[in-house]
Structure 1
Amino acid sequence: MEKLRWAIVGLGDIVRKRVGPAILEQPQSVLQACVTRDPDRRTDELRALVPGKVYTDFEQMLTDTEVDAVYIATPVFLHAPQAIAALRAGKHVLVEKPMALDASEAEAMNVAAKQAGRRLSVAYYRRFWPTFQRVHSMLEQGDFGQIVLARVALHSWYAPSPNDSNAWRVRPEYSGGGVLSDVGSHRLDLLAWWFGLPQKTVSDVRTRTQDYSVEDSATGILVFADGFPCTLSFQWNSKTWTDELHIVGSETKVSLTPTDSDEMKITCGRETTTSRLNRHPNAHYGLIDDFATSILEGRAPRFSGDDGIAATQMMDWIKQAATCRTWIEGG
Structure 2
Amino acid sequence: MVHWGFIGCGAVTEKKSGPAFSKVEGSDVVAVMRRDGQKAEDYARRHGIGKWYDNADDLIHDPAVNAVYVATPPGSHLEYAVAAMRAGKPVYLEKPMAASYEECLQINRISQETGVPCFVAYYRRTLPYFLRVKQLIDDGLLGDISTVQIRFAIPPYKEDYNRESLPWRLKKEIAGAGYFYDLASHQLDLLDYLFGEITDVSGFTNNVAGLYEVEDSLAAAFRFNSGMVGSGSWSFVAPQNSRTDLIDITGTKGSLTFSTFDFSPIQLGTAGGIQEFREENPENIQYYLVESIVNYLNGYGAIPVSTAISATRANWVMDRILGKII
TM-score (norm 1): 0.89
Q: Distance in 2 between matches of 1:94 and 1:163?
A: 32
**Alpha-carbon distance between aligned partners in 2 of 1:267 and 1:211, rounded to the nearest angstrom:** 39
The 3-state SS of whatever aligns with 2:15 is helix
Tell me if 1:317 matches 2:320.
Answer: yes
Residue 259 of structure 1 deviates from its aligned partner by 5.0
Find the residue that maps to 2:17 and give its secondary structure.
Answer: helix
Equivalent of 1:98 in 85, 96, 99: 96
Q: Secondary structure at the match of 2:243?
A: strand
Structure-2 change in CA distance of 1:115 and 1:191 (3 Å): same
Alignment of 1:174-189 (within 5 A): 174-189=174-189
Counterpart in the other structure of 1:215: 215
- Structure 2 unmatched runs, 5+: none
Output the amino acid matched with 2:274: T
Match of 1:119 in 2: 117
Please give the TM-score of this superposition, normalised by the length of structure 2.
Answer: 0.91
- 2:255 corresponds, among 244, 253, 256, to 253
> Equivalent of 2:129, from 131, 134, 155?
131
1:103 deviates by 1.7
1:106 CA displacement: 0.7
Distance 2:304 2:108 in 1: 14
- Residue 90 of structure 1 aligns to a residue whose secondary structure is coil
Q: Is the 8 A contact 2:71 2:93 kept in 1?
A: yes
State the shift of 1:50 in Å: 2.2
Shift of the alpha carbon at 1:304? 1.5
Tell whether the 8 Å contact from 2:74 to 2:99 is kept in structure 1 after alignment.
Answer: yes
2:69 aligned counterpart, secondary structure = strand
1:196 counterpart residue number:
196
Identify unmatched segments of 5+ residues in structure 1: none
Q: Decide whether aligned partners of structure 1 residues 162 and 15 sit closer, same or farther in structure 2, where only a CA change above 3 A counts.
A: farther
Q: Which residue of 1 aligns with 2:173?
A: 173
SS of equivalent to 1:230: strand
What percentage of residue pairs aligned between the two structures are identical? 29
Report if the CA contact (8 A) 1:197-1:314 is conserved.
no
What does residue 285 of structure 1 align with?
287
Q: How does 1:218-237 map to 2 (within 5 A)?
A: 218-237=218-237
CA distance change for structure 1 residues 64 and 191 in 2, over 3 Å: closer, same or farther? Answer: same
Is the alpha carbon distance of 1:116 and 1:316 closer, same or farther for their aligned partners in structure 2, counting shifts above 3 Å?
same
Cα shift at 1:6: 0.4
Q: Distance in 1 between matches of 2:112 and 2:102?
A: 16
Match of 1:84 among 82, 85, 99: 82
Q: 1:296 aligns with which of 298, 307, 310?
A: 298
Assess if the C-alpha contact under 8 Å between 1:159 and 1:210 holds in 2.
no
In the aligned structure 1, how far is the partner of 2:158 from the partner of 2:186?
20
Query: Is the CA contact (8 Å cut-off) linking 2:40 and 2:53 kept in structure 1?
Result: no
TM-aligned CA deviation for residue 16 of structure 1: 1.6
Deviations 1:96-117 (A, max 9, x none): 1111122221121112112222
Render the CA deviation track for 1:22-55: whole Å, top value 9, x for unaligned: 1122232111100111122455433322222101
Contact 2:145 2:249 in 1 (8 A): yes
- Number of matched residues? 320
Q: Distance in 2 between matches of 1:72 and 1:213?
A: 27
Match for residue 58 of structure 2? 60
Q: Secondary structure at the match of 2:298?
A: helix
1:38 to 15, 36, 39: 36
